Every structure is written in C-alpha cells, then in structure tokens.
Amino acid sequence: MPTSDTIVVFPGTPSPDLARTLDLGGYRWKAVSGADEASKVEPQAGWMGAIVACDEDAEAAWAFVRTIRKRDNAVSSVMVMISGAQLSDLELRDDLFDDFCLTPFHPRELEARLRHMFSATEGGARPELVEHSGLVLNLETYQASFNGHALDLTFMEYELLKFLAQNPGKVFSREMLLSRVWGYEYYGGARTVDVHVRRLRAKLGEEHANLIQTVRSVGYRFGQGRWSN
C-alpha cells in the first residue's frame, strides 16, 4: 500500500530549527505528543516516515520509536535526533531507526539525510541528478562523480558545487554564496568561499578546474571557459 507524504514528528513541540528546516525543505509534517495521538491523526495511507528528537526526554522518545516501529503497520523510515553524549544509546537499537542526526544540526545536513533516507524506501524512481560536462551530482544520495569517477567531497564542498552547477553561467559574489550556500546563520568570512573553491578545483583536477570560473572583482560562476586567480 502506498504511503502518504506526511512525516510524524515527536515530541509535540519540536524545536524551531527543526520546524523551519522541514518547512523550507517542503515537507508535510505533523507533531504529536505520543504514539496514541500518532495513530489517531495518521493519514489513511500511513506515515511517510518519522523524526524523533531524543535529546531532551530520551526515555519517552525511544518508547515512541519502539511503538511505531513494532506495530502491525510499522513506520518504515525513522530518523532519530540525538546529542553527541547519546551516541551509546544507539547500541543494540539498530532495528528501531534508519538514520540519526546529531544535535545541534546543520539544516542542510538534516535535509540531505532525510532525502537519502526517503529515497532508499521509494524504490524504482530515477534519482534526481545534476549533470554538466561529465560531472554528475545525485541530489538524493549526495554523491558526486566526474567522468564516472567518484569525488570525495565534504558536505559543504558538495553544497557549493551543487549550487553552482544548478545555476550555470550565473555570476555570484562571495557574499551571495555565503548567504545561499552556508546560510544566514553562518558567520565566517568571504575567504571561506575561496578556500572551498580552491579545494573543489583541486578535486576536479587541473584539466577540469575551469568549470568553476573566477570573475575578477565579482566572484564565481560555473561553466566552461578560462579562469584566472
């Protein structure tokens, strides 16, 4: 039976950061105070998945996870949010969750993990790709390759490359890239962009480094052509 497109969230008062991340990611979600409420408001087609914050009341959170996971109509995709001090809580609980995210979290990291988790259960659909001159970015699994060879990118390197590749030919200042890629909450300087561009060029290789062009006195753009430092 197909599932709905709605995520159940526990506890009933999620953090503002989590609520904002889900809203900006375009997810439909419903916060509940317990398993009984989750059953009462569950869509007819079932929950698409669950996000359970365990960093405040861990005992109640794991009890909720256990209930929705072990019931007859089990929730098949479960993300748990934990603090670094709770990593040991994951031991012997592999059957209760599909992925976890440490709090405090970066919104883009959580969104990437959710996309990957849900894509693994959808099956059959062609993954959403960004392709340009041999570069392939899988937007569901956050994998990158060039001419069939995997690129070992950090999370923010991937985010920067994805943003540029999705806007080929457009020129972005360093300040715009900081805002659009790192987010308004990031307080690093514009040199952060230069460092990440330099690393991306190195990983693309000398022959293909010109995919990321420097526009003097302005910033960067993505596409073919010559560039200079």
Q: What is the pLDDT of residue 164?
A: 93
Q: What is the pLDDT of residue 39?
A: 94
As given in the structure block, the two tokens for residue 193 are: 């962009």
The number of domains in the chain is 2
153 close to 203: Cβ distance less than 8 angstroms: yes
**Same domain assignment for residues 149 and 192:** yes
Q: What is the pLDDT of residue 219?
A: 92
**Same domain assignment for residues 97 and 38:** yes
As given in the structure block, the two tokens for residue 44 are: 């007819």
**Same domain assignment for residues 151 and 204:** yes
Half-sphere exposure of 47 (CA within 13 A, CB side): 28
Q: What is the pLDDT of residue 34?
A: 95
Give φ, ψ of 86 to 5 degrees: -100, 10
Contacts of 168 (CB under 8 A, 6+ apart): 132, 221, 222, 223
Q: What's the pTM value of the predicted model, to 2 decimals?
A: 0.57
**Same domain assignment for residues 195 and 158:** yes
H-run or E-run covering 107: helix 107-122
Q: What is the pLDDT of residue 227?
A: 37
**Same domain assignment for residues 112 and 36:** yes
**Same domain assignment for residues 77 and 158:** no
CATH no. for residue 156?
1.10.10.10
pLDDT by 10s per residue, the chain, length 229: 345 689 999 999 999 999 999 988 888 999 999 999 999 999 888 999 999 999 989 999 999 999 999 888 889 899 999 998 998 888 888 889 988 988 988 888 888 888 888 876 555 445 578 888 788 888 877 888 888 888 888 888 899 999 999 888 899 998 889 888 887 555 667 788 898 999 999 998 888 888 999 998 889 999 854 433 3
Domain that holds residue 140: 129-222
CATH no. for residue 26?
3.40.50.2300
Q: What is the pLDDT of residue 229?
A: 37
Q: What is the pLDDT of residue 212?
A: 93
161 close to 200: Cβ distance less than 8 angstroms: yes
